[in-house]
Structure 1
Amino acid sequence: MGQAPDYVLDRPSADDLEQFFAVDADPRVWEHLPSGRMAEREEAEAILVRLDSQWELDGIGPWMVRRTSGGQILGRCGCSLRGVPGPGASRRGTGAFWNLGYRFRPEAQGQGSATAVSRDAIAAAANIDAGLPIVAYLLEHNTASEVVARKLGLELVHRAPDAGNPDPAAVRLVFADRELTPAQLDATLN
């Protein structure tokens, strides 16, 4: 698909299943949200199908990030369209936004991967629809993710309890590249 410096960015495929599952089943990856960890390969299969569908519908989605073509998956990173009521619905006048997400295996963390690939993802999303905000939401105690969001120029626009989180003390932070409409903010919280 595209390349960030020292990285190969591939659209997810069924061939990624084992490595994708290995990353998302690793408890170290889910230190900040243990309930998000995958336990079954079927979960990984379903997510890969969903990611493929996002690429088909929106022309973009998270990439699988590798150091070399065909190499080990370091993680995934990219923008996904969120807050749209359904296929074919208008992006304007809704709660639509680009959700920037990044998740990397621990061995690849702290090396600038999330920041570098996120910059490519933001540019790709802007090429499709620059009128939609870029949003990253995360848990407050995930300071590494907050650092990435701030490096990308995103600003804190909301802080509140993380509804539905098994940890009642969890706080969700919402970062964005601009002010969000009430519908967009609501979509980030649900």
Structure 2
Amino acid sequence: MTTLRTERLILRPWREDDFEPFAAMSADPKVMEHFPSTLTRAESDAVAGRLKARIEHQGFGFWALELPGIAPFIGFAGLLHVSFEAHFTPAVEIGWRLAPAHWRQGYATEAARAALAHGFGALGLAEIVSFTIPANLPSQAVMQRLGMTRNEADDFAHPRVPAGHPMSRHVLYRLRAEDWKE
């Protein structure tokens, strides 16, 4: 299974001891502000289990993020095959979620750059996408720092969010391999 390293971070496969801090993140209204709801412990454990299994099965996914010598788990970042149908699928998305104590320190961008390098390098992907709700300006800022671009015509209603829900509408950012600058 692939492990990636940056100057400050390790992007690694999930361990069982990651489930508890992930559950705390998933229950935190600040962390889940741009998602339809927080998660119960059972829901969070199910998500973490799926993320762990995907990495074990395909060698990549949303890796657990570790700050070596400082914090064994601060969130996740990485690449996943988009698991729903939309006008831009099939596709691989890049995503991240960090505990609030680790926000605004550049960790999401740093981890995402490593994931992009792996996706365009070792995995040979032609394009990577990312999406969020319009109100999630911090994540959109990360997407822009990564060199991803948005075309409003690509915005979409997320098929897993009920129609009419305030978080149904999503913005889509894209980055093609030929436009990637490490």
The TM-score bracket by the shorter chain reads 0.7 to 0.9
Aligned to 1:73: 73
Query: Structure 1 residues 162 and 9 mapped into 2: Cα distance closer, same or farther (>3 Å)?
Result: closer
1:17 aligns with 2:15: no
Aligned equivalents of 2:25 and 2:46: distance in 1? 15
Which region of structure 1 is more displaced relative to structure 2, 110-119 or 126-135? 126-135
Please state how far the C-alpha of 1:127 moved relative to its aligned partner: 3.1
1:53 aligns with 2:58: no
Instruction: Give the alignment of 1:145-164 within 5 angstroms.
Output: 145-157=139-151, 158-164=154-160
Provide runs of 4+ in structure 1 moved above 4 Å: 161-164
Please state how far the C-alpha of 1:67 moved relative to its aligned partner: 1.4
Please state how far the C-alpha of 1:160 moved relative to its aligned partner: 3.7
Instruction: Give the alignment of 1:127-138 within 5 angstroms.
Output: 127-138=121-132
Aligned to 2:171: 173
Identical counterparts, % of pairs: 26
Structure 1, unpaired ranges of 5+: 86-93, 179-190
Please state how far the C-alpha of 1:145 moved relative to its aligned partner: 0.4
SS at match of 1:130: coil
Contact 1:65 1:75 in 2 (8 A): yes
Aligned equivalents of 1:2 and 1:131: distance in 2? 17
- AA of the residue aligned to 1:172: H
Normalising by structure 1, we get a TM-score of 0.78
- AA of the residue aligned to 2:175: D
SS at match of 2:140: helix
Aligned equivalents of 1:56 and 1:84: distance in 2? 21
Aligned equivalents of 1:128 and 1:54: distance in 2? 17
Please state how far the C-alpha of 1:101 moved relative to its aligned partner: 0.7
Aligned to 2:179: none
Aligned to 1:31: 33
Normalising by structure 2, we get a TM-score of 0.81
Please state how far the C-alpha of 1:149 moved relative to its aligned partner: 0.3
Query: Structure 1 residues 95 and 162 mapped into 2: Cα distance closer, same or farther (>3 Å)?
Result: closer
- AA of the residue aligned to 2:161: N
Aligned to 2:120: 126
Aligned residue-pair number: 169
- AA of the residue aligned to 1:32: H
SS at match of 1:177: strand
Q: Deviations over 1:112-155 (max 9, x none)?
A: 11100000011112234323421100000000000000110111
Structure 2, unpaired ranges of 5+: 177-182
